[in-house]
Chains A and B, each alone.
Chain A
Amino acid sequence: GEDVEQSLFLSVREGDSSVINCTYTDSSSTYLYWYKQEPGAGLQLLTYIFSNMDMKQDQRLTVLLNKKDKHLSLRIADTQTGDSAIYFCAESRSSSASKIIFGSGTRLSIRP
C-alpha cells in the first residue's frame, strides 16, 4: 500500500520543542521528506532523509527515522510563531522518485 499517516494537530508553547510524527507502510520507500505549507502558499521542502540513514540534523530541525517500525519524526527546537504551518510527511521510492506520496499533514499551532 501507499499510506502515510500523521496526526492532524499539534499545539506547543513558544520556545518549546515540537515533535511531529509520521508512519508509512511501504518498506520500499527510499526517500522520506518533510514539507511545510503556510496558509495560502505552496509547499516548501524543509528536509529529507535517505532510507539508509537514522538521523539528520539541520539547524533547528532533527529528523529521526526508525526503518524497522516505519516511523519518521521531525523535531523543531525552540519553536517560534513563524513555525505555524501545516507539515507534510512524504515518501517516494527509487522506482519512481517523481511520485511523492504525502501524508494528511499536521497543523502546528504555537501558543504564547
Chain B
Amino acid sequence: DTEVTQTPKHLVMGMTNKKSLKCEQHMGHRAMYWYKQKAKKPPELMFVYSYEKLSINESVPSRFSPECPNSSLLNLHLHALQPEDSALYLCASSQRGGPGTSVYNEQFFGPGTRLTVL
C-alpha cells in the first residue's frame, strides 16, 4: 500500500460547527504533515508530526487542532472556522521527519479534502 488516503473528499461546514479531517497511511512512515492550499496558490505547511509527536506548528490559529493517535493516522479537528479558512487541506507522510532531519525523505501527498466554510 503506497498511498495516503484522506476523508472526506469534500466538506461544507458552518462557522459554529465542529468537524474533523482524517488522514491515513500504511507505508510505515513516521512523519505526517498537514498543508493548507488556497486556490491558485502553493501549499503552505501547517503542522508536522514526527514519531507521533508534534514537531512543527507554523503559528496556526488554535481553531485548527491536530492529533496523531498512532503512527498511521493523523486528524485535524476544526472548530469555529472562518470563511477565509476555505481551502484544500492536504495531508502528506514521509519515512522520517522533524527538525534536524538531514536526510532526504520524500513526502507522499494525499488527494486532499476540499473544505468550504459558510
Contacts and interface: CB of A to CB of B under 8 A. Distances in A.
Contact of B42 (A44, A96, A104): A104
B106 A45 contact: yes
Contacts of A95: 99-100, 102
Interface string B37-81: 000111111001010000110000000000000000000000000
A98 B4 CA distance: 17
A108 B69 CA distance: 39
Given A96-B100, A97-B101, A98-B50, A45 B45 contact: no
Interface of A: 31, 40-45, 48, 50, 88, 90, 94-100, 102-105
Interface of B: 4, 31, 33, 40-45, 48, 50, 55-56, 90, 92, 94, 97-112, 114
